[in-house]
Structure 1
């Protein structure tokens, strides 16, 4: 629709005087969510093209969540990548163990290699649990952080 020199759309009003002459004149939007992240990077998918409802993917997701919690809740991307590989090996080893218990043949060399690789991955990300700090800040620290001042 057009109203004099103002063009109206469903979501915004466009005025010619508000339009920047070039893209470099525009200021970046602070805090805008990146639309360039993949479904794997933003945590929507664990693997590309894999149905996330399968038992193996659900198990991997459970393990990954536990590893992240054990690492204090905010690990680096490198540690998350190693943890993802460790979850793949855990699920593979669990599957191989269940097949062996049901009487199927187990290639012990492949299983041992996977178990040793898993041990090294777990050592890389830290086998011990790291407690997250849940101690609330003092009132003075809270006020200083959130209100730019504090009590004296």
Structure 2
């Protein structure tokens, strides 16, 4: 039998989703972009994720913004390590594949609508 989650008062700020990364100013460009990517992936997955899915989404968000930073460096004419970029891109692709690349509809049917549809 699985244990219930602790009440919000007994969880960490990260567990309560009040903080993205410990010690990081949430107003920074990278922190805001991280939240955008994570929220976008979560929305694509329907929003009601398991803890395991949330962990994978966080890793995918990290890899996605890492790739974006390397793409910016490339566009600015800076050194670009194609092998490193390909490795991280493939790791990101595998994570997204594990999560499911297709957008999933969120079930918003309530009991009244369901019963009307059955009548």
Q: TM-score normalised to the size of structure 1?
A: 0.68
1:62 aligns with 2:36: yes
| Structure showing the higher strand proportion among its residues | 1
* Deviations, residues 12-59 of structure 1 (Å, cap 9, x unaligned): xxxxxxxxxxxxxxxxxxxx9442211111101111111101111101
Report SS of the residue matched to 1:138: helix
C-alpha contact 2:8 2:16 (8 A) present in aligned 1: no
C-alpha contact 2:63 2:92 (8 A) present in aligned 1: yes
Q: Which is greater in Rg? A: 1
1:107 aligns with 2:84: no
Q: TM-score normalised to the size of structure 2?
A: 0.85
Give the length in aligned residue pairs: 110
* Deviations, residues 94-119 of structure 1 (Å, cap 9, x unaligned): 01001101100101111010000000
- Rounded Cα–Cα distance in structure 2 between residues aligned with 1:132 and 1:112: 33
| Structure showing the higher helix proportion among its residues | 2
User: RCO higher in 1 or 2 (8 Å CA, sep ≥ 6)?
Assistant: 2
